[in-house]
Chain A
Amino acid sequence: MSNQSGIIQLTESETKQSTQAEFSQSLVSKAMGRLWRDKLTLAALTVIVIMSLLAIFAPLITAYILHVDPEATNPSIRLQPVGTPDHLLGTDDLGRDYLARLLYGGRISLAIGFSGSIITLAIGILFGMVAGYYGGWIDDLMNWVVTTVDSIPTLYLLILISALLHPSPEALVLVLALTGWTGGTRLIRGQTIALRNLDYITSAQSLGATPWRIMFVHILPNLLSVTMISLATGIGGLILAESSLSYLKLGVQPPTPTWGNMLSNAQQFFVRGPHLAVISGLLIFVTVLCLYVIGDGLRDAFDPQTGD
């Protein structure tokens, strides 16, 4: 598309048509090409992949490489500093190996982020597409629900639900997802409305395609970039939300480690073991930062206005 626009000025509708004509392959492969040249995004992606692998293989790593048990407490070696022999990142207030705790904490934190974000997105895609495609009273109803939920600050809702209902970690994921679905829904709805009036949808309709087929076969693939961007930023947002809840002692409860409750717990030992708070806080920060950078990078890569 960009090589054409250098030669002739295309009008708005012509641009859209040409995008549709040569769509899929060219847009995605161009985006991938741009992404490949965006070193910052690639670096962030690498960090996230490494973190995820470390989290997935945490039991193997702690058992066969570190030779420690993340649950083994030892009062005689409490709050050892970074670099202690046998304990690379020191020990926590109960004498547990901190690196092992962080690996296990990462499992839960990343799992909450990933699964919560996927649920959020699934709800967003379903509700957003239905509202955007059908319009009318369905759209009005959806709008009402979305504005209503949006007008209560998310943290208020999270605090209320977790303080009043004491959810388990699995339920907490659901709660986080349910309080965050409105953003995705609004985004998908807007995109669907923009796509709904394009010619290829009209032609699919005139060929007798059912609404569900149009939504899932013709509209959904075009939402790929939006969903990938909101997946990346959504995971980051949820990890942050979990840590905020943990700070208020309303998140996942110890002894199950998450980066959030480890950080929150580390506050009490700030003077004697500052490494606890610094490392766990930094891990959350770096992870969320990388996810946001990936989100930004994807946005630039998929934006047809970005030049090559």
Chain B
Amino acid sequence: MLRYIIRRLIQAVPTFFGITIISYLLMASAGNPVQVLSFRPDMNKAEQDRIAERLGVNDPWWLQYLRWLAGDDWMRWDSNSDGIADHAFILPLRLPGSDVNEPPGDRKGVLRGDFGTSFVQKRPVLDILFERLPATVELSATAFILGTAAGLAIGVLAAVNHRNIFDNASRVLAVVFNAIPEFWLALMLLLFFGSKLGILPLGDRCATTIEDSCPPIWERWQYMVLPVFILSTGLIAGYSRFMRASMLDVMGQDYIRTARSKGMRAGGIWFIHAARNALIPIATFLGPALTGLLGGAVITETIFNYPGVGRLVFEAATQRDYPVVMAVTIYAALASIIGYLLSDVLYALIDPRIRFS
């Protein structure tokens, strides 16, 4: 088992590097960040060139990628602490046309957790990300737990009532949840519950106060009702369909017939014998479900004005805040890599037929 987990971990390494390359290329193809970086339209050409040179945007792409990934404090460093670099590796010690050595590199690189400084907010990207993370985690975790529970329950009941009115209703529900534009549903619900009935707030994470923090979750549950529901629609649709199919599959097997012929009660057969085995293939759905949640959070957080990472992606992309964009992409990718890893390990754990070779 341990060997299997280690092997899966090693397999995740190339995936991680693939993601860094994709997000890097995306940013590189978006163009020169110099103008974005300094909002000074009057900056002259020479000045722009100097900033560009210092930022290294004129270097070949692999060198830029390497700097971003592994930092540049080992490419140009200062050994006698006078603030001027005296050794260099790969990078030149001086800029062309200058007779003073450059200051030493101060970037540690993504691999060492340094995602740089936000262009817009001028502070470490990681601080911004960690500020937004709690809101997204509480929203996604709640949606995940409730959505999974509801989806699995609906799936089991649909299979038990096969070809019955409940079964058909659950199938319709699943297709409807899949086909409805999320933001449209959210708007309609906001209009009805928030505006017409006035029983739920129109968005935000909590009531605005002078303090910059929110009370504990149970004191502001009404703010979570709609966003959690919208975010969990996809999960309910997916899980109920998969669980229904898996249950029907299991219910057709011999051991269920044996249990029945022994005179076991129907409820016992469904929930003790069938549902437990039907859950096994559902484990593989965990990875895609997590990725879906992260994507869905963008729309949900934007429409409900929820200060999470999803909205951060959108804000940073439209503001061309490259370092934030990159950090958020890597965060999302890491989360879904872990999701896929967990679902594989979980699957191997609960299904004894999996061979670890």
**A interface list, Cβ under 8 A from B:** 144-145, 147-156, 159-161, 163-165, 236, 240, 243-244, 247-248, 250, 260, 263-264, 267, 270, 277, 281, 284-285, 288-289, 291-293, 296
- Select the stretch in B201-209, B216-224, B288-296 that faces chain A: B288-296
List 7 A-B residue pairs with CB atoms under 8 Å apart, sorted by A's residue number: A155-B295, A156-B313, A160-B325, A161-B26, A236-B179, A247-B299, A270-B191
Please report the C-alpha to C-alpha distance between residue A164 and residue B329 in the assembled complex, in whole angstroms. 14
> Could you say which residues of chain B place their CB within 8 Å of the CB of A270?
187, 191
Q: Tell me the dominant secondary structure on chain A's binding face.
A: helix
Complex CA–CA separation, A145 to B298 (angstroms): 24
**Given A250-B318, A288-B180, 16 other A-B contacts at CB below 8 A?**
A144-B14, A148-B14, A150-B336, A152-B23, A152-B332, A152-B336, A156-B332, A161-B26, A163-B314, A248-B298, A248-B314, A281-B187, A284-B184, A291-B179, A292-B175, A292-B179
Distance A243 CA – B181 CA, assembled complex (angstroms): 7
A148 CB contacts on chain B under 8 angstroms: 14-15, 18-19, 22
Please pick, from A260, A285, A296, the residue contacting B180 in the complex, using a CB distance under 8 A: A285
Question: Within the complex, which residue of B14, B294, B320 is in contact with A156, where a contact is CB–CB below 8 Å?
Answer: B294
Tell whether, in the assembled complex, residue B179 and residue A244 are in contact, meaning their CB atoms are under 8 Å apart. no
Contacts A152-B333, A292-B175 given; does A281 touch B184 at CB 8 Å: yes
- The one of A150, A236, A240, A277 in contact with B291, judged by C-beta atoms closer than 8 angstroms, is A150
Q: Does B68 contact A (CB under 8 A)?
A: no
A285 near B15 with CB under 8 A, answer no
Q: Which residues of A contact B325 (CB under 8 A)?
A: 160, 164
Q: Are A289 and B175 in contact (CB under 8 A)?
A: yes
Residues A153 and B317 in contact, CB atoms below 8 Å apart = no
Q: Kindly list chain A residues whose C-beta atoms are within 8 Å of the C-beta of B329.
A: 152, 156, 160
- A165-B29 in contact given A152-B329, A292-B175 (Cβ < 8 Å): yes
- Partner among A151, A248, A277, A296 whose Cβ is within 8 Å of the Cβ of B184: A277
The residue in A144, A155, A284, A285 that gathers the most chain B C-beta atoms within 10 A of its C-beta is A155
Query: Are the CB atoms of B175 and A153 closer together than 8 Å?
Result: no
B231 to chain A, nearest CB (A): 13
A137 to B317, CA, bound (A): 36
Residue of B nearest to A285 (CB): B180
Residues of A within 8 A of B291 (CB): 150-151, 153
* Structural contact, A240 and B298, CB atoms closer than 8 A: no
Verify B26–A164 contact, CB threshold 8 A: yes
Contacts of B318 in A (CB 8 A): 163, 250
Inside 8 A of B294's CB, which chain A residues have their CB?
A: 153, 156
Min CB–CB distance A16 → chain B (angstroms):
20
Tell me the dominant secondary structure on chain B's binding face: helix
Asked if A289 contacts B181 (CB within 8 A), the reply is no
Closest Cβ neighbor of A244 among chain B residues: B299
A244-B183, A296-B175 are known contacts. Are A160 and B15 too (CB-CB below 8 A)? no
List the 5 closest pairs (A to B, CB-CB), nearest first. Answer: A148-B18, A153-B295, A163-B317, A164-B30, A155-B295
Q: Is the CB of B29 within 8 A of A154?
A: no
Report the minimal beta-carbon distance from A230 to chain B, rounded to whole angstroms.
14
**Are A151 and B15 in contact, CB atoms less than 8 angstroms apart?**
yes
B residues within 8 A CB of A156? Answer: 294-295, 298, 313, 328-329, 332
Shortest distance from the beta carbon of B132 to any chain A beta carbon, whole Å: 14
CB of B178 closer than 8 Å to a CB of A: yes
* In contact, A152 and B22 (Cβ under 8 angstroms): yes
Q: Which residues on the B side are within 8 Å of A164 (C-beta)?
A: 26-27, 29-31, 317, 320, 325
Q: Cβ of B19 and Cβ of A152 under 8 Å apart?
A: yes
Q: How far, in Å, is B347 (CB) from chain A's closest CB?
A: 16
Contact of A151 among B179, B299, B337 (CB under 8 A): B337
Q: Which residues of chain A come closer than 8 Å to B340, judged between CB atoms?
A: 147, 151
Report whether B313 and A159 are in contact in the complex, using a CB–CB cutoff of 8 Å.
yes
Q: How far is the CB of B171 from chain A (nearest CB, A)?
A: 8
B176 within 8 A of A: yes
Q: How far is the CB of B71 from chain A (nearest CB, A)?
A: 23
* Residues of chain B within 8 A of A160, CB atoms compared: 23, 26, 313, 317, 325, 329
Are B179's CB and A263's CB within 8 A?
no
Contacts of B117 in A (CB 8 A): none
Q: Does B142 interact with chain A (Cβ within 8 Å)? A: no
Interface residues as binary, B283-320 with A (CB distance below 8 Å gives 1, 0 otherwise): 00000000110111011001100000000011001101
Bound: A150/B291 CA distance, A: 8
Residue B114 is within 8 A (CB to CB) of chain A in the complex: no
Select which of A151, A243, A293 is within 8 A of B175 by beta carbon: A293
Quote the shortest CB–CB distance from B51 to chain A (angstroms): 20
B320 touches A144 (CB 8 A): no
Among A152, A161, A248, the one with the most B-chain Cβ atoms within 10 Å of its Cβ is: A152
Contact A153 B332 (CB under 8 A): yes
Rounded to whole Å, the gap between the CB of A262 and the closest CB of chain B is 12
Least CB distance from B47 to A in Å reads 25
Q: How far is the CA of A260 from the CA of B183 in the complex (A)?
A: 11
Q: Are A154 and B295 in touch, CB under 8 angstroms?
A: yes
Contacts of B187 in A (CB 8 A): 267, 270, 277, 281
What is the chain A residue whose CB lies nearest that of B331?
Answer: A156
Q: How far is the CA of A154 from the CA of B125 in the complex (A)?
A: 23
In the complex, whether B78 has a CB less than 8 A from a CB of chain A is: no
- Shortest distance in angstroms between A141's beta carbon and chain B's nearest beta carbon? 10
Once the chains bind, are A151 and B26 in contact (CB under 8 Å)?
Answer: no
A284 / chain B contacts, CB cutoff of 8 Å: 181, 184
Q: Nearest chain A CB to B144's CB is how many angstroms away?
A: 14
Contact, CB under 8 Å: B179 / A289: yes
- B198 CB to closest chain A CB, in angstroms? 15
CB <8 Å contact, B15 and A147: yes
Q: What 1/0 flags go to B87-107 for Cβ under 8 Å of A?
A: 000000000000000000000
Most A-side CB within 10 Å, residue of B184, B295, B332: B184
In the assembly, what is the distance between CA of A243 and CA of B318, in Å?
A: 17
B182 close to A (CB within 8 Å): yes
Q: Which residue of B lies closest to A154 (CB)?
A: B295
User: B181–A281 contact, CB under 8 A?
Assistant: yes
